[in-house]
Amino acid sequence: MRIAKPNTCFWQGSKACAEGAITAGCRFFAGYPITPASEIAEHMARRLPQVGGIAIQMEDEMASIGAIIGASWAGTKAMTATSGPGFSLMQEFIGYAFMTETPCVIVNAQRAGPSTGQATKCGQGDVMQSRWGTHGDYSAIVLSPNSVQEMFTLTVRAFNLAEKYRTPVILLSDETITHMREQITVPSVNNVEIVNRRKPRRGEKAFFGLEEIPPMPAVGEGFNVAVTGSTHDEYGIRFTADPLVHIKLVKRLNSKIRNNSNEISDFEEYNIEDCQIGVISYGCTSRAIYEAVEKAESKGVKTGYIRLKTIWPFPGNVVRKMVENANKIIVPELNLGQIRYEVEKASNGLAKVIPLNKIGGGELITPEELLATILKEAKTND
Amino acid sequence: MLNRIEVRISGLGGQGVVLAGQILGKAAVYAGKNVVQTQSYGAEARGSAARSEVIISDGKIGFPIVRKCDILIAMSQEAVEKNVGDLKEGGLLLIDSTTIKSAPEIGGRTFQIPATKTSEKVFKEKLYTNIIMLGALIKITKIVDGKFVEKAIRSTLSEKVATINIKAYRKGTKLV
């Protein structure tokens, strides 16, 4: 058994994530068990040895992300998977991976926090953490799947973006999408676009600059490489006081993501140019929009939605397009309100942003609750 | 109107409610249906309330959680009391009559299946209660062809375990 055969399968989200990673070329996994991400580790532990890879259970989450950063520098595509408490522990190393331009994938299957919270229950409270969790000026790429199919395709995409932009990429899933089972069409590996990091030519020395996305050698390939989280120049030499070196490095690291945000950002949209009420959602919460919007339309309310597949970079452009017509935007989230602020910023006062929030017990926002909010907001003019 | 059936299997952690849902879901996929299966359980390995839900549909499934179910399978007293309110009017209730001593009065049909007792009698342990209940469900409702259920059991469990579970499944079909 090697790469999963093309077929229609009934898989758990965690399995689709693991198989997506293997299809993308991931051959190293390090993790520490935590609900609801343990099944990803379990599946990687079973499958990676079958494809010539390695899976390790580390002593904690810090060691796990440290190990995948090391594996990436050894030339291997690598992934870890965790949930809120483990994701908090990983923040320092996410910054290190960003600063050292190390491609890797970090899966966070969100549960209800803060702290241990409700370990087996769904939540979406880590949205801002996934963007701003580590310290310093940085830019994050964060993807948000809403089906078992997307646990596969967006994991592949996470690897492709990590390799292309030489940066850590976060797959921000949640308990519901990670644990649920659904049918999935597994593509033939030949039909999957796979991006690999650009390697240096012989004699090249600049692995941290000169170009927007520099080539990346692997340890043992004969290049002299110094990898450091301290500020460094194009050749990896530390400059811990020189402002110009710091400005040049940190600006490039951010601009390589910000300048390409249109290419990175991905979303599903419906009727955004002709709606009175807009809905913007992501992950498990977005599973309620289809039924709610259909019923709202059948009651004569012009409704549209944007479903984010990338949360960061946030696709402000499409929100600006939506508010040209919509006068209200509802933002359902399984937290006390996070992406709503981003929507408010993008809509720039042209639409009223209405948060619809729920936390605790893993209970999702139902289509009925969303529909009731849509109908109420359609009736009131304020 | 497209055909859509929503099933909730409820019980205690350790009773295999998730596995029963997984097998039912897989069988329905083999039968060409759209399926979503979700689960909810406590932080404890065993003993706290657990449930598994399966939505089987000819159409696209958006919201993955069962709000009102057509069929409720209950395997503990607590489970039946907590979930019977979510059963649709005229819905079908299947209870394990070994573990549930007082079945609530409902508008629809109730089937009492001595699943735990049968499992202990036939297999010397109560491990197969979940699959016996599944067998009864398939016999009563025919929501999927039995051959797909057996195929799902075989493709989910190891050969040895699958053989016993298929026996348990067939036993379940004979209890109603």
Mapped onto helix, strand or coil, the DSSP state of residue A85 is helix
Q: Is residue A93 part of a domain?
A: yes
Q: Please state the φ and ψ torsions of residue A75, each to the nearest 5 degrees.
A: 95, 10
With respect to residue A226, please indicate whether it lies within any of the assigned structural domains. no
pLDDT digits (tens, 9 = 90+) for A189-222: 999 999 999 999 999 999 999 999 999 999 999 9
B45 Cβ neighbours under 8 A, 6+ residues apart: B13, B14
The encoded tokens of residue B153 equal 């059991």
Domain span at B138: 4-173
Tell me which residue in A176, A182, A289 faces B35 most closely, judged by beta carbons. A182
Chain B residues closer than 8 Å to A284 by CB: 64
Q: Is B41 a residue whose pLDDT tops 90?
A: no
Question: Residue A166: what pLDDT?
Answer: 98
The reported pLDDT for the residue numbered B46 is 74
Q: Are residues A184 and A65 in the same domain?
A: yes
Q: Please answer yes or no on whether B39 and A179 come within 8 Å at the CB atom.
A: yes
Closest Cα in chain B, distance from residue A13 (Å): 10
Domain of B151, CATH number, reads: 3.40.920.10
With beta carbons under 8 A apart, name residues in chain A contacting B67: 366, 368
Strands A141-143 and A310-312: antiparallel
How many Å apart are CA A99 and CA A166, to the nearest integer? 10
The average confidence (pLDDT) of chain B is 94
Does ipTM top 0.90? yes
Which CATH number characterizes residue A364's domain?
3.40.50.920
Contact between A44 and A213 under an 8 Å Cβ cutoff? The reply is: no
Query: What pLDDT score does A168 carry?
Result: 98
Measure CB to CB from residue B38 to each of A8, A35, A180 and give the nearest one: A180
pLDDT beyond 50 at B133: yes
Q: Does the CB of B25 have a partner CB in chain A at under 8 Å?
A: yes
- In this structure, is residue A231 part of a structural domain? no
Q: Of chain A residues 102-131, which have a CB less than 8 A from chain B? A: 118-120
Q: Residue A179 belongs to a domain with what CATH number?
A: 3.40.50.970
A30 vs A91: CA distance, rounded Å: 16
Beta-strand relationship, B49-57 and B4-12: antiparallel
Given A191, A216, A243, which residue is the final one in a domain? A191
Token pair 């300048």 in the structure block, residue: A259
pLDDT value, residue A219:
94
- A313 to chain B nearest CA, in Å? 26
Give bridge partners of residue A118 from the DSSP assignment. Answer: A112
What is the number of structural domains in chain A? 2
Picking from B22, B40, B62, the nearest residue to A181 by CB comes out as B22
Are A146 and A33 found together in one domain?
yes
Q: How confident is residue A372, by pLDDT bands cut at 50, 70 and 90?
A: very high
Looking at the structure, do residues A184 and A320 belong to the same domain, yes or no? no
Give strand ranges (E) for chain B: 4-12, 34-41, 49-57, 69-74, 87-96, 110-113
A200 belongs to a structural domain: no
* A91 is a domain residue: yes
Query: Same structural domain for residues A184 and A303?
Result: no
Domain annotation covers residue A237: no
Does residue B36 surpass a pLDDT of 90? yes
Q: Does some domain include residue A250? A: no
Q: How many domains does chain B have?
A: 1
Structural domain boundaries, residue A326: 268-379
Candidates A120, A287, A368; nearest CB to B42: A120
Say whether both A178 and A273 belong to one domain.
Answer: no
| Domain end residue (candidates: A191, A221, A256) | A191
B67, A368: Cβ pair inside 8 Å?
A: yes
| Bond from prior residue into A114 cis (ω within 30 degrees of 0) | yes
CA A217 to chain centre: 25
Query: What is the rounded average pLDDT of the residues B121-143?
Result: 97
Of A147, A176, A191, which residue is a domain's last? A191
Contact B32, B146 (CB under 8 A): no
Q: For A252-310, write each residue's pLDDT tens digit.
A: 999 999 999 999 999 999 999 999 999 999 999 999 999 999 999 999 999 999 999 99
pLDDT of residue B68: 96
